[in-house]
Amino acid sequence: MQIAVCIKQVVTREAQLRIDKGHAWIRDQDASYEMNEPDAYALEEALGLRERHGGDVVACSAGPARVGQLLREALARGADRAIHVEGDELGRADALTVAGALAGPLRSAGVDLVLTGLQSDDQGFGQVGVILAELLGLPYATIIMDVEVSDGSVRVKRELENGWFQWVTLPLPALLTIQSGINQLRYATLKGIMAAKKKEIRKVAPPARPETRQRITGLRVPERAKQTHFLEGTPAAAAQELVRRLREDARVLTED
């Protein structure tokens, strides 16, 4: 079984971010980076499927040169090879652009299953996987909590709302977006790190004119402010007004 895993390099959660001069992105040189958490679970699921069914795992990512470090980490964890669609503009690109950059290499790779994380920790749109499935013409399922592969098909458990789950069967090849917590993550061993140095990272140029449908026009740091409101009137009226504000303004109460 040939499995491709799309992973993204995101800013670490503890990083102290500074906005760049254009006020449309962060200062990359001030940030530290790590593997997107849902993508780490997708990679682990791919490695587990390879152990049970055989085959190869190829890690794929789109972004600037620094993404090479991310792919080396994926190889150290156990991926067999990697594809890097290298382009500086892909580090802040929208979902359609990223999916378009990944579609070509994945189409030529001839994989049986494509896994992505449910969403990214930075922009969080959750759209790259589903757009990529559309571009590749693959059936897909999202928010996956369990994967069972059989001859020519894959049966998956989807997480729904209010504690409900749904089992779906798709023909292969297919694409799945993986939910965090689906498995127990493994980390790179010294043996894996040494082996990763000999594994292939194939660099691919992005499309000449990537299709972009949206762009970030501005970023700002959230403002920290405190406000005090005095509720006047009788105790009953003040209580009624407090409940209204908690429900409509703070949104911490529901109609129930």
* Burial state string for 139-154 with b = 16 or more CB within 10 A and e = fewer than 16: bbbbbbbebebeeeeb
DSSP-assigned letters across all residues of 147-176: EEEETTEEEEEEE-STT-EEEEEEESSEEE
| Backbone φ/ψ region at 233: left (φ over 0), alpha (ψ -120 to 50), beta | left
The answer to whether 172 touches 55, Cβ cutoff 8 Å, is no
Q: What is the pLDDT of residue 213?
A: 76
Q: What is the pLDDT of residue 35?
A: 95
Distance between CA 144 and CA 179 in Å, rounded?
5
Q: What is the pLDDT of residue 89?
A: 85
**What global pTM score does this model have?**
0.82
Please give the chain's pLDDT, 256 residues, in tens. Answer: 999 999 999 988 877 778 888 777 777 777 889 999 999 999 999 999 999 999 999 999 999 999 999 999 999 999 999 999 999 888 888 899 999 999 999 998 889 999 999 999 888 889 999 999 999 999 999 999 999 999 899 999 999 988 899 999 999 999 999 999 999 998 899 999 999 999 999 999 988 766 677 878 888 777 777 778 888 889 999 899 898 888 888 778 776 5
What's 2-204's CATH class?
A: alpha beta
Q: What is the pLDDT of residue 209?
A: 67
The answer to whether 55 touches 31, Cβ cutoff 8 Å, is no
Q: What is the pLDDT of residue 181?
A: 92
Sign of the alpha-carbon torsion through 174, 179, 182, 183: positive
Q: What is the pLDDT of residue 191?
A: 93
The DSSP H or E segment spanning 69 is helix 67-77
Q: Which residue has the tokens 């992505």?
A: 116
Sign of the alpha-carbon torsion through 122, 89, 99, 104: negative
Domain ranges of the chain: 2-204, 226-256
Three-state SS at 197: coil
pLDDT tens digit string along 11-53? Answer: 888 777 788 887 777 777 778 899 999 999 999 999 999 999 9
> Peptide bond preceding 173: is omega within 30 degrees of 0, i.e. cis?
yes
Q: How many helices (H) and strands (E) does the chain have?
A: 6, 11
Q: What is the pLDDT of residue 143?
A: 95
